[in-house]
Amino acid sequence: MTRRELLGATVKGSMIATIANFSNFFHGGHVMAQETQKQAGSAVQLPPAYRGENQVKPLPFNAGKLKGLSEKLILSHHQNNYTGAVNRLNQIQRQLGNLPKDAPPYQMGSLKREEIVATNSMILHEFYFANLGGDMGTGLSSHVNVPRRRVGLGHVKLQLSRQCCPQLLGVGSYA
C-alpha cells in the first residue's frame, strides 16, 4: 500500500466515522448548546452542583435613588445581563449533570469551561450590584474582608525588579 492509498483510506474512514456520529445526533443525540433532558423513567437525584438551582438575587438598593446612573439602566442590566448569567449557569450545570458517564472528554471539558465563565459572570455581577449601593454598609465589602493598602511606584518597581525584568528598571546585576 502506498502512502497515497493509506492517506485516502484514512480520510474515507474519518468521513464514515463523522457521518455515523452526525447521524447519531438525529436519532436522539445532543448538541452542546442545547438543553439535555433526563429520560422520563429516570428517578436519579443529581448532586447539588449539577441541579442548576442558582437564584437571582434582588438589587440590594433602590435603583431610583442611585446617583449618576439611571434607574432604567440599572434595572435593565440586572434583569437582562445578571439574570441571563444566572440562567445560563443553571442550564450548563444541568447539562453537566445529565451527561452520560461515557461522554467524550472534550464535551465535559467544554461544558466545564462554559461553567467557569458563567459562574464568574454571576459572581462579578453580584459584587457590582452590591457595591453600587452608595453607602458602604449595603455592599459586600461589609461581609468580605478585603485588605486595602496603597501601593506606591517604589513598591511596584521593587516587585518587578525581583520577579521579571531587572534589566528594564536599571536594578540588579543588569544595571
Look at the chain and report how many structural domains it folds into.
2
In a domain, 70, yes or no: yes
Same domain, 125 and 51: yes
CB 63 within 8 A of CB 71: yes
79 and 162 part of one domain: no
Same domain, 156 and 120: no
Does residue 172 form part of some domain?
yes
- Examine residue 97 and state whether it is found in any structural domain, yes or no: yes
161 and 127 in a single domain? The answer is no
How many residues belong to the chain?
A: 175
Write out the residue range of the structural domain in which residue 134 sits: 46-138
Instruction: Report the distance separating Cα 90 and Cα 66, nearest Å.
Output: 30
Residue 95 domain-assigned? yes
Same domain for 72 and 116: yes
79-91: string of b/e by CB count within 10 Å (b at 16+)? eeebeebbebbbb
Q: Are 63 and 109 found together in one domain?
A: yes
Q: Note whether residue 72 is domain-resident.
A: yes
pLDDT tens across the length of the chain (175 residues): 787 877 677 767 666 666 655 455 445 554 444 444 444 445 578 888 888 899 999 998 899 888 888 999 999 999 999 999 999 999 999 999 999 989 999 999 999 999 999 999 999 999 999 888 755 444 444 444 444 555 566 666 666 566 555 555 555 554 4
Cβ atoms of 82 and 122 closer than 8 Å: yes
